[in-house]
Amino acid sequence: MTTQYDYDLIVLGGGSGGLAAAFRAAQHGQRVAMLEPGELGGTCVNVGCVPKKAMWLAADLSARIGLAAAMGFDVPVRPSLDWKELVVHRQAYIANIHASYLKRLDENKVVRVPRRGRLVDAHTVECSDGVRISAAHILIATGAHPQRPDIPGAELGLVSDDFFNLCSAPERVAIVGGGYIAVELAGLLQALGSRVTLLVRGERLLERFDAELTGQLAENLRHQGVQVHFGYRLRELRRDGDAIVAFGHDGPADGQFDAVFFATGRRGNSADLGLEAVGVVVGDKGEVEVDAWQTTAVPSVHAVGDIAGKVGLTPVAIAAARKLMDRLFGGQPQAKMDYENVASVVFSHPALGAVGLSEEEACAKYGDVRVYRSNFRPMLQALADGTQRSVFKLVCVGEEERVVGVHLLGESADEILQGFALAVKMGVTKAQFDDTVAIHPTSAEEVVLMR
């Protein structure tokens, strides 16, 4: 790099993608500055994956204690939770992550600027205090934020970020949406003491996942006590004393709630970054448009993570950032992110995971598809007279029955899917899969894989 700039790389945003880029560029010997006015870690660490998983673990423990009671253990069926104590432990864990990031930035000699930045030109960023710095390359990694729908009374509703400010479980909760966040919040709150109603505009949950599994997930949620309503179009919210009343398009008042959460999509944090003025194209949802190499229409400006509008998962943002840095600074001009066959997990109860194509996607792409499935009640559920069911599904194509999709609703889906992702990427066949993976559902009823 030439020395005409203050830095080799300026990173706007200190989330997972921005941090991964900063660390990798520094390892390649580059001079890096990171602008982040808030806490390090972005959505994932502060109001996403990490605190969500902490709450999911608490909800999972609550459910297991109930199963233990059904099996004969002297424990309450519905254990009480000191929510504030849980939050103390959760935030202490997050504080340790913040400290670790700060230490690593210092060790890698990354300059942290606790300011917001906006582009002045293709190589210059102006900090919110008026100071200007320049770099050969600028990376936009500012993430995204949850949206509220444009309806009357929307200000009465909460968003996913607000969930982490709760000090107790609201008694009656409505969640508007049917995607990742809606499903996860529904399971968490129901397990931790709320009575949850899920208001879904479409006719199914999680439209990017296999319909058979999401159908079973909806049934599982109902057995957990969640009221699931499909085809619901929210018209407005109104305050009625201490309650919030939800009105749908197709009827009168649909219910009174103590809290209403919107899980109706996210928008990229691209406003007031000066992007359009320098030639960077911004999409309808605030996403920065990039090519297959994470570069915008301006060759020196790049984007990764939620702001880039690709696959909105933390591991994907990290991988894309590292690939980009290897291409720009590591002498690897062919380094490129592969967005196919990415393992994706929803932390429902139990978790739902998938890698590759759903049955519907495989049919549309290949026509000739064979599906192997097992829908069963796991042993713990059976022993405790539980109602939750798990599903395992393989989607295969061609005479050799190449596995193009693996789908799992069940225990440890997040861990199991990592191995399946590698298998799908390697193009294994059903026969090879059978030779290397032992499928043992341990159900109280006879289970066979049916073609």
pLDDT digits (tens, 9 = 90+) for 77-98: 888 999 999 999 999 999 999 9
440 included as an active-site residue? yes
For residues 378 and 392, state if they share a domain: yes
Q: What is the mean pLDDT of residues 202-216?
A: 96
For residues 384 and 421, state if they share a domain: yes
What is the 3 state secondary structure string of 4-51? CCCEEEEEECCEHHHHHHHHHHHHCCCCEEEECCCCCEHHHHHHCHHH
- Tell me the angle at which helices 359-366 and 211-224 cross, rounded to the nearest 10 degrees: 170
For residues 41 and 165, state if they share a domain: no
Residue from 294, 313, 306 nearest 354 by CA: 313
Please report whether residue 73 resides in a domain.
Answer: no
pLDDT band of 75, cuts 50, 70, 90: very high
Q: What local confidence, expressed as pLDDT, does residue 136 receive?
A: 98
Q: What local confidence, expressed as pLDDT, does residue 448 receive?
A: 35
Please report whether residue 447 resides in a domain.
Answer: no
Q: What local confidence, expressed as pLDDT, does residue 17 receive?
A: 97
Q: What local confidence, expressed as pLDDT, does residue 253 receive?
A: 63
Decide if pLDDT at 2 tops 60: no
For residues 37 and 176, state if they share a domain: no
Q: What local confidence, expressed as pLDDT, does residue 85 receive?
A: 97
Q: How far apart are CA 262 and CA 64, in angstroms?
A: 28
Q: How far apart are CA 187 and CA 221, in angstroms?
A: 7
| CA of residue 222 relative to chain centroid, distance | 23
**Percentage of the chain modeled with pLDDT above 90:** 84
Q: Looking at 28, 229, 407, 440, which residue is catalytic?
A: 440
Please report whether residue 116 resides in a domain.
Answer: yes
For residues 387 and 398, state if they share a domain: yes
pLDDT, tens digit (0-9, with 9 covering 90-100), for 14-41: 999 999 999 999 999 999 999 999 999 9
For residues 199 and 255, state if they share a domain: yes
For residues 134 and 25, state if they share a domain: yes
Please report whether residue 100 resides in a domain.
Answer: yes
pLDDT band of 1, cuts 50, 70, 90: very low
For residues 271 and 178, state if they share a domain: no
Q: What local confidence, expressed as pLDDT, does residue 262 receive?
A: 98
**Percentage of the chain modeled with pLDDT above 70:** 95
SS3 at position 160: helix
pLDDT band of 442, cuts 50, 70, 90: very low
- Other CB atoms within a 10 A radius of the CB of residue 391 amount to 23
Backbone torsions φ then ψ of 77, nearest 5 degrees:
-65, -40
Q: How far apart are CA 151 and CA 235, in angstroms?
A: 6
Residue 105: which H helix or E strand, with range? helix 83-107
Q: What is the pTM of this model?
A: 0.92
pLDDT band of 444, cuts 50, 70, 90: very low
Q: What local confidence, expressed as pLDDT, does residue 446 receive?
A: 34
pLDDT, tens digit (0-9, with 9 covering 90-100), for 251-271: 666 789 999 999 999 999 999
Q: How far apart are CA 240 and CA 362, in angstroms?
A: 48
pLDDT band of 167, cuts 50, 70, 90: very high
pLDDT, tens digit (0-9, with 9 covering 90-100), for 132-149: 999 999 999 999 999 999
For residues 29 and 142, state if they share a domain: yes
pLDDT, tens digit (0-9, with 9 covering 90-100), for 310-364: 999 999 999 999 999 999 999 998 888 888 889 999 999 899 999 999 999 999 9
Please report whether residue 56 resides in a domain.
Answer: no
Please report whether residue 442 resides in a domain.
Answer: no
For residues 12 and 113, state if they share a domain: yes
For residues 113 and 31, state if they share a domain: yes
Please report whether residue 66 resides in a domain.
Answer: no
Q: What local confidence, expressed as pLDDT, does residue 416 receive?
A: 83
Domains of the chain: total: 3
Q: How far apart are CA 335 and CA 322, in angstroms?
A: 9
What are the angstrom distances between the C-alpha of 262 and each of 178, 194, 311, 313, 439? Answer: 10, 16, 21, 20, 38
Alpha helices for 119-206 (secondary structure H):
160-163, 180-191
Decide if pLDDT at 276 tops 50: yes
What average pLDDT does the chain have? 93
Ramachandran assignment for 69, one of left (phi > 0), alpha (psi -120 to 50 degrees), beta (any other): alpha
Decide if pLDDT at 449 tops 80: no
- Lowest mean pLDDT across 108-117, 134-143, 345-354, 442-451: 442-451
| Angle 289-313-55 from CA coordinates, rounded to 5° | 140
Query: Domain range spanning residue 382?
Result: 344-436
For residues 142 and 19, state if they share a domain: yes
